[in-house]
Homo-oligomer: A and B are copies of this chain.
Amino acid sequence: MKIGILGTGAVGQTIGAALIAKGHEVMLGSRTAGNEKANNWATTNGTKASNGTFADAAKFGELIFICLNGSVTPVALQQAGAENFNDKVVIDVTNPLDFSHGMPPSLLPQYCNTYSLGEEVQKLLHDAKVVKGLNTVTANLMVNATLVNNADHNLFICGNDADAKNAVRKLLAENFNWKPENILDFGDIKSARLTEAIVPFWVGAMQVLGTPMFNYLIVK
């Protein structure tokens, strides 16, 4: 599968490398073509790895991951061109974190409580099938669920398109070792308000536990 990834930070690079290891072709997109981090990543990840602009990566992908900093996401999506996402499944991994008040972060006020970045992404990419997910765990765990508790822990997804959510569940199971039954569907994209709002708590928990390599298992 051809997969586009917007964002060249740890999350984008980690997801990209993991997908290449599974046989997919991946293009990392950044603000400007020839971005040094993206060049290095493409060089070290073999012939199935490439890089380009946000628009290049969006055009390239049959499926697209958004792995940008929350604060730059709306501008980056405008640069990428909404039409390049039409009818595609888009996995929104972003979090609208605001580190300007120190640690742990708060949420950016414009994407907080009664609105979310996930909703903004769906609004900007009006004809894409946006699925919010993976944003509640650290990058290395995103791509290999077995690193914690034999993959017995939960992921929370939401989005307006049921088929797209099923496709994401399948992709995460086949490529990243997530157990399908542990991926909980929280409903439409409005639920991004809920799943983004637990991320400041996650950072606090990371500070308490002394490691980012943990997750929540819902027990009954």
Query: A residues bordering B, Cβ < 8 Å?
Result: 101, 104, 106-107, 109, 112-114, 148-149, 152-153, 184-187, 191, 193-195, 197-198, 200-201, 204-205, 207-209, 211, 213-220
**Further pairs besides A106-B113, A197-B198, A216-B218: 13, Cβ < 8 Å:** A106-B114, A107-B113, A112-B112, A113-B113, A149-B219, A153-B219, A184-B208, A193-B200, A194-B200, A195-B201, A214-B218, A214-B220, A217-B217
Specify which chain B residues have a CB less than 8 angstroms from the CB of A220 in the assembled complex: 148-149, 209, 211, 213-214
A194 & B104 in contact (Cβ 8 Å cutoff): yes
Q: Give the docked Cα–Cα distance between A194 and B199 (Å).
A: 9
A197 & B201 in contact (Cβ 8 Å cutoff): yes
If over half of A's interface residues share one DSSP class (helix, strand or loop), that class is named, otherwise mixed; here it is mixed
Specify which chain B residues have a CB less than 8 angstroms from the CB of A215 in the assembled complex: 218-219
Query: Measured between C-beta atoms, what is the minimum distance from A193 to chain B in Å?
Result: 7
Specify which chain B residues have a CB less than 8 angstroms from the CB of A191 in the assembled complex: 204
Q: Copies of this chain, how many?
A: 2
In the complex, what residue of chain B is closest to A220 when comparing beta carbons? B214
27 contacts between A and B (CB under 8 A): A104-B194, A109-B114, A112-B112, A113-B113, A148-B219, A149-B219, A184-B205, A184-B208, A185-B208, A186-B205, A186-B208, A187-B204, A187-B208, A193-B200, A197-B197, A197-B198, A197-B200, A197-B201, A205-B218, A209-B220, A211-B220, A213-B220, A214-B219, A216-B218, A216-B219, A217-B217, A217-B218
Query: Measured between C-beta atoms, what is the minimum distance from A132 to chain B in Å?
Result: 12
Which 3 A/B pairs are nearest by Cβ-Cβ distance?
A149-B219, A194-B201, A216-B216
Query: Measured between C-beta atoms, what is the minimum distance from A117 to chain B in Å?
Result: 14
